[in-house]
Amino acid sequence: MTKILKSNTVGIKEAAEILRCGGLVAFPTETVYGLGANGLSETAVKLIFKAKNRPDNNPLILHVSSLEMASEVAYEIPVIGKKLLEKFWPGPLTLVVKKSDKVPVNVSAGGKTVALRMPDHPIALSLIKEAGFPIAAPSANISGKPSPIEAGDVLSDLDGKIDAVIDGGKCRVGLESTVVDVTQNKVKILRHGAISLEQLAELLDYKPEIDTDKSLIDLHEIKYAPKCSIKLFTLDNAPFIGVKDGIVALSFSPPPSIFSIKLSSLEEYAAKLYSILREADKKNIKILYMEKPSNSGIGAAILDRLQKAESR
Ligand code: AMP
Ligand code: MG
């Protein structure tokens, strides 16, 4: 049985103790729920891959609560990386840097780099501080399922497979972090996420490169796969929907159906995307028509997830 812990001091202390003993605890962050283990223990990290059924060639993000902690697991943080973290940490930006010897081989999937992030969530930060080590944490779902944005989602995938989950309510952003490679002292976007290309460009005074060699992330990325089939549409190409179909619209009020959702902003789209996918499956929707967001701001990250869900 997976224990449900309260998001208070007692719950956080108990969660930290489980992590110190090599166990697995899911916890809320501002992006999605993470499945945490001691990020300095190869044995503990191994359990994450097993619980999630995650391919072992997919590296994990280490979550830190301070710059000192980040510096211990990084061989170096380049100047450009420091500039980014000064602006966006704590927050949904993950930096890929050269790793130090302290990073277990399975965290970096055998590579020479490590992905680091300081989450902007009081429970996540308190848990990392209380544990005293970086916490390795991918999303707390079975690989290939939509990421969890509340404790109930975690339990529906992982109940009985992990020691505990801290129930901290719904996640604010609802989509994973933006991943950028800074090892070459320039910024390359590996995965779109909650920090947009425009926000990065404003700080950098240039448009960061987007990884065109998609092989790495495509190989690793989950398929964000609900059971229903996803079909994307635009306003000038709006679909006729059948009685068993669902529709999610952003720029107009969709006709009523058994699953008809109107979203009013890109932020709301991001925050609700994964729960919409899970809900559509609970209602046995066959086809879910979803309006394409614009490819700017957080829209790029939403579109990326939608296209993966559509093309699987
Ligand atoms: P998740 O934790 O499931 O949101 O996935 C983490 C993402 O970060 C995956 O797409 C990984 O491929 C990527 N990632 C983690 N570590 C590295 C790394 N060292 N180099 C490149 N990408 C990484
Ligand atoms: Mg994930």
Q: What is the CA(252)–ligand 2 centre distance, in A? A: 31
Query: By the 8 A CB rule, do 141 and 153 touch?
Result: yes
* Alpha helix ranges (H) inside the chain: 9-20, 42-52, 67-73, 79-88, 122-131, 151-158, 197-204, 215-220, 266-282, 299-311
Written as one letter, the residue type at 57 is N
Query: By the 8 A CB rule, do 35 and 62 touch?
Result: no
- Cβ–ligand 1 distance for 29 under 6 Å, the answer no
Domains of the chain, first to last: 3-210 (3.90.870.10), 229-311 (3.40.50.11030)
pLDDT in tens, 264-311: 999 999 999 999 999 999 999 999 999 999 999 999 999 999 998 887
Query: By the 8 A CB rule, do 241 and 222 touch?
Result: no
Q: What is the CA(147)–ligand 2 centre distance, in A? A: 6
- Cβ–ligand 1 distance for 141 under 6 Å, the answer no
**Residues with Cβ within 8 Å of residue 301, at least 6 apart in sequence:** 175, 176, 178, 192, 193, 194, 196, 270
Mutate to test the pocket of ligand 1, among 48, 154, 220, 304 (most ligand atoms within 8 A of CB): 220
pLDDT in tens, 33-56: 999 999 999 999 999 999 999 999
Q: What is the CA(252)–ligand 1 centre distance, in A? A: 36
Please report the atom of ligand 1 found closest to the CA of residue 222. 3
| Three-state DSSP class for residue 286 | coil
Output the pLDDT for position 224: 64
